[in-house]
Amino acid sequence: RIRTLRQGGGLSGFTKRSESVYDPFGAAHSSTSISAALGMAVARDLDSEAAKAKGRTAKRRNAIAVIGDGSMSAGMAYEAMNNAGALHSRLIVILNDNDMSIAPPVGAMSGYLARLASGGTYQSLRETAKQLGKLLPKALYQRAAAAEEYARSLVVGGGTMFEEMGFHYVGPVDGHNLDQLLPVLKNVRDAEHGPILLHVVTRKGKGYAPAEASADRYHGVVKFDVVSGVQAKAKPNAPAYTRVFGESLIKAADADDRVVAITAAMPGGTGIDLFGKAHPDKTFDVGIAEQHAVTFAGGLATEGYRPFVAIYSTFLQRAYDQVVHDVALQNLPVRFCLDRAGLVGADGATHAGAFDLAYLCCLPNMTVMAASDEAELVHMVAT
């Protein structure tokens, strides 16, 4: 049914439990995978203990979370890793690093070291050394642990942060070199110690020239010509609301130095990219961190600024407590500009901004406006 993808009555563009037994969890918003996988890992462990109590052997299962580097800017990912490190559950997290390049791979030596660090021998020796180290006097053990951490950072690169959170860090590995990647994946699959974070470096659109040249435009695509890469988008017969908003906000900032714009990794989808070209020093893209975006705006507002927070309607749901507690209850002048409100067609239920009227109209001090045309939108920005 792949030819029905993102069409009416067709397959969802995201994993959906009701659609396939191979979709283990509904996904679309970022940073949720580690939390969900940890829940699955703990459920597996509980099942295993129950089976042992009944004299049965539980089937070995792996809980694997894949998360993009952009999603690692969201706090939920760290909340999950913090919990996973404390629970010591056998969990595999694959960090797909295709933009920020947290730590670039350094060729064959990097691949070899990753393979070595993920292997059973290295892990067993390290675990044994940890247990033996605990028999040492406390001061000596702490010095030995510090020395081991320093030596490990020289070997595995920038994974110390993940190690401090209780993960065994492996990488970076070239995600396009299967001779490097597959042995490492097999090692982390067979490892008895958890949790493990495998850092894989990839290039978005790898192997397809149009996507390599413009990865952002191929994040979510409609039908396109495979040879040229040209997407078959219908020509609009009126100015897009997003552009009208962006241009109106530029005029507002031209007239008032206190106007600033904030977005959460969606400048092009909200019109903030236009504003950013005109007022780069007043534009803040905080990454995929909606909760921070809202409270950050609240802080700006306390100092007399007029922040416009441009976020997709469905993504603001992730920051509802901040809207209530840090803006509405304090009656701070923050303007939320919700793009993609209502039903959004091909993106499906997870991206439909169907609840914003219900969850915003009930808040104190909140004025909610919905533009019926472009002219009203211009006036609303001014208001």
Are both 41 and 115 inside the same structural domain?
A: yes
Residue 290 annotated among the catalytic residues of the structure: yes
Spatial CA neighbour of 383 closest among 333, 348, 324, 343: 333
Within a domain: 15: no
What pLDDT shows up at residue 228? Answer: 84
Task: Render pLDDT for 205-243 as a digit per residue (tens, 0 to 9).
Answer: 888 888 888 766 777 777 788 888 888 777 766 678 899
Task: Note the pTM of the prediction, 2 decimals.
Answer: 0.80
Question: Cβ distance 60 to 88 under 8 Å?
Answer: no
Are both 245 and 352 inside the same structural domain?
A: yes
Query: Which of 201, 232, 265 is a domain's end point?
Result: 201
Q: Which of 290, 306, 335, 340 is catalytic?
A: 290
Beta bridge partners of 66: 94
CATH number at residue 269: 3.40.50.970
Residue 19 annotated among the catalytic residues of the structure: no
Are both 57 and 117 inside the same structural domain?
A: yes
Supply angle C-alpha 316, 317, 320, rounded to 5.
90
Within a domain: 169: yes
Query: Which of 176, 201, 226 is a domain's end point?
Result: 201
Domain that holds residue 326: 241-382
Task: Render pLDDT for 93-130 as a digit per residue (tens, 0 to 9).
Answer: 999 988 654 545 445 544 544 555 556 655 565 666 66
Are both 43 and 179 inside the same structural domain?
A: yes
Distance CA 348, CA 3 (A): 16
Spatial CA neighbour of 195 closest among 300, 21, 45: 45
Q: Which of 126, 203, 204, 217 is catalytic?
A: 204
- DSSP H/E element including 315: helix 313-316
Contacts for 273-276 with beta carbons within 8 Å, 24 or more apart?
273/246, 274/243, 274/246, 274/247, 274/250, 275/246, 275/249, 275/250
Are both 194 and 246 inside the same structural domain?
A: no
Within a domain: 2: no
What pLDDT shows up at residue 163? Answer: 86
Within a domain: 301: yes
Within a domain: 154: yes
- Tokens found for residue 363: 């808040």
Are both 275 and 131 inside the same structural domain?
A: no
Distance CA 252, CA 337 (A): 14
CATH number at residue 187: 3.40.50
Within a domain: 138: yes
Q: How many domains does the chain have?
A: 2
Within a domain: 18: no
What pLDDT shows up at residue 154? Answer: 45
Query: Which of 201, 216, 232 is a domain's end point?
Result: 201
Question: Cβ distance 76 to 103 under 8 Å?
Answer: no
What pLDDT shows up at residue 101? Answer: 43
Are both 173 and 271 inside the same structural domain?
A: no
Are both 114 and 253 inside the same structural domain?
A: no
Beta bridge partners of 140: none
Are both 157 and 268 inside the same structural domain?
A: no
Question: Cβ distance 374 to 241 under 8 Å?
Answer: yes
Which residues, including other chains, have CB under 8 Å from residue 97's CB and lie 6 or more apart? 68, 69, 103, 172, 199, 200, 201, 202
Q: Which of 44, 318, 335, 340 is catalytic?
A: 318
- Tokens found for residue 155: 């070997």
pLDDT under 50: residue ranges of the chain: 101, 103, 105-106, 109-110, 112-113, 150, 153-156
Are both 35 and 121 inside the same structural domain?
A: yes
> Three-state SS for 322?
helix
Are both 41 and 176 inside the same structural domain?
A: yes
Are both 331 and 187 inside the same structural domain?
A: no
First to last CA, the chain: 48
Residue 282 annotated among the catalytic residues of the structure: no
Within a domain: 39: yes
